Structures are given as C-alpha cells and as structure tokens.
Amino acid sequence: MIKISYKKKDNHINYVSIKGHSGYAEEGFDIVCASVSSIAITTVNALIKLDVDSIVYKEDDGFLEIEIIKFNDTIDVLICNMISMLEELQKQYKDYIEIK
C-alpha cells in the first residue's frame, strides 16, 4: 500500500511524505504506482522550475519526501493540487492508497 501523509503549518502544507508500493500489479505494470509517481514528480519538477529554493526533497525507490520551505500563492496551489489529485486517485483505488 502507498501511504501518503502531509503536515500543515500556518495554513500552508509544509511537508509531504509518500512511501511504499501499491501492490496493484507487478512492477512495470502497476498503474497505481505509476499514477502516484507521475503526480508527485510532475509537482516537484514544477516547483523546482518555479523556484529552485522552494522545496527540499528526498527520493528513493518507493519513497518521496518533500519539505516546502517557501510559500506563495503559486506554490500553495501546486501543492494543494497534488494532494487533491492523490485524493481523487485514492477514491478509485482505496485498497492501494492511504492518505492521512
């Protein structure tokens, strides 16, 4: 199961953690893992293009941790959009994604 958590401080999401594999299908054919990865990495890349100093992130197999260190309306929208997309995906694949 993919476990996603996030924290807020002063009404801004300042931390996101994505851990694990969904187990939906074998590696290379797992549309749930691919979808979560695409959503998260697209958001990370957009944030870096917007402001390279806006986040610090760590990435490994089955693991992504994002610390948001700068806040503005655009950064907030991108992070909130990522969480919203992951929540929509969770609705369809609730046995494979958990968001706290």
Spell out the residues 6+ positions from residue 25 whose beta carbon is closer than 8 angstroms to its own.
Answer: 31, 32
> pTM for this structure?
0.94
Question: For 17-38, how does the pLDDT look when each residue is reduced to its tens digit (9 = 90+)?
Answer: 999 999 999 988 999 999 999 9
Nearest to 36 by CA among 99, 92, 89: 89
Helix (H, G, I), strand (E, B) or coil at 64: strand
* CATH code, domain with 60: 3.30.70.1490
The residue segments making up the domain with residue 65 are: 2-99
Hunting for tokens 């939906």 — which residue is that?
A: 24
> For the chain, how many structural domains are there in total?
1
Task: Convert the pLDDT of each residue in 75-96 to its tens digit.
Answer: 999 999 999 999 999 999 999 9
pLDDT of residue 49: 97
Give residue-wise pLDDT tens across range 48-74. 999 999 999 999 999 999 999 999 999
